[in-house]
Amino acid sequence: MCKLMKQSQTVAIIGSQWGDEGKGKLVDFLSESADIVCRFQGGNNAGHTVVINDKKYSFHLLPSGVLQNKICVIGNGVVIDPKVLFHELDTIRSKGFEPQLIVSSTAHVIFPYHNYIDELEEKHKACHAAGTTKRGIGPTYSDKAARFGIRIFDIVHPDIFKIKWDKFLELKKKMVVTLGGEWKFDDNAMFEQYVDYGKRLRPLMQDTAYFLNEALDAGKRIIFEGAQGALLGIDHGMYPYGTSSNTWAGGIPSGAGISPKRINKIVGIVKAYTSRVGGGPLPTELDDEIGHQIREQGHEYGTTTGRPRRVGWIDLVNLKYACILNRYDHIGFTLVDALGGFDTLKLCVSYILDGKELKKWPIHSEIIEKCSPKYIEMPGWKNLPVEEWRKIAKQGYDSLPKEIKDYIDFIENYLEVPISFISIGPNRKESIVRHPIW
């Protein structure tokens, strides 16, 4: 007779828009009651920022649960630049934290030539360029799919690494030349550098699928931390103006090695307005003084690149698509404080295409670029000082200005998902829990 497993509980935190929605803050907030936090896709093109006692911590590969001293897992679906990973580890240690990190043996490795190829490919794509961070993410996933990638296991074992290195490097050199580039790397120095990385990675490396499933069997609580947002995914996002991994909840089983049945709750993170980095049509984009004000109030500059983000009014059409795709149990609503100071706010409730109204997100960029937004208007709220927001956080949801509650109620009813967590400031405590997520 098979034994019964202990009750486990998992929560997935998924960006619902174009990334930068504030996932890191909610992961950090919920991590207090978790045992493990796992990244399952993306690479160091993602950036999560967490603020604790007015101190800012930025991550690109490390899961945000590191600040709560939780076991952090980088799953097989992540592509890893070891240089970036060790820089983050050294930085967080210098600030008094000691990460408990486990890295998947089957995660693929980013090399400097991937970054260079990324740059060359973007130039060739011209108007179809995705506006990547040029961190080598796409080319590394391309190698993975083509089955000549190099994995963590390989660089931990130099004899295995050398055989693949000698063979695969010739292909990369030919690709660089074909793209109009010039090979500018010291092959031997690069190989030895990655052998050194392998030595540092050896004590961190595990079969993370076994580790996670055994933890779930033991009743542990796990948070799966998404990177980017659902609308940037390779399969269900706006192609080609996105990233190279599956950014929705469906990426968890493949990127972490667990059954879909083991995902108990899915939380979508929604920003009070729209922002994004990269190319592609953005129907609600505000290229005016209002957009500038939102950008400055929301500090809309990329964690990874520092680039100013494109901003606009909230787009409920594509958010509804993200809700359908992920079937969220809860929504975490962020950056409410950054939308203060406007007499009137606009919410996009449908698109107009050739005189006809569309209520379903067309998904194809060629169609979306021809769409214009149809808005409803709602009253805005005052731009409150930080001390007032913190007072509201202590008092709870009922103390929010009526205009904010009306705004939240409309969005909740449109999306048909409860808005359970509300962020009204960057700090961990500047949060309101309306409905428990755990």
Return the domain boundaries, the chain. Answer: 9-105+207-433, 108-203
For the segment 322-335, the average pLDDT, to the nearest whole number, is 97
CA 219/CA 9 separation, integer angstroms: 7
pLDDT class of 4 with cuts at 50, 70, 90:
low
Q: What is the pLDDT of residue 45?
A: 82
pLDDT at residue 335 greater than cutoff 60: yes
| Span 117-138, pLDDT tens digits | 998 888 877 666 666 677 889 9
Q: What is the pLDDT of residue 50?
A: 83
Largest CA-CA distance found in the chain, in angstroms, rounded: 68
Catalytic residues: 20, 48
Q: What is the pLDDT of residue 2?
A: 58
| Span 405-422, pLDDT tens digits | 999 999 999 999 999 999
Class for the domain spanning 9-105+207-433: alpha beta
Q: What is the pLDDT of residue 13?
A: 97
| Span 236-272, pLDDT tens digits | 999 999 999 999 999 999 999 999 999 999 999 999 9
Instruction: Please count the helices (runs of H) and the strands (runs of E) in the chain.
Output: 14, 20
pLDDT at residue 1 greater than cutoff 60: no
CB 16 within 8 A of CB 230: yes
Pairing of strands 36-39, 71-74: parallel
pLDDT at residue 169 greater than cutoff 60: yes
Q: What is the pLDDT of residue 8?
A: 67
| Span 309-328, pLDDT tens digits | 999 999 999 999 999 999 99
Q: What is the pLDDT of residue 47?
A: 73
9-105+207-433 and 108-203 have identical folds: no
Class for the domain spanning 108-203: mainly alpha
Q: Which of 336, 345, 340, 430 is nearest to 384 (CA)?
A: 340
Strands (E), 16-54: 36-39, 48-52
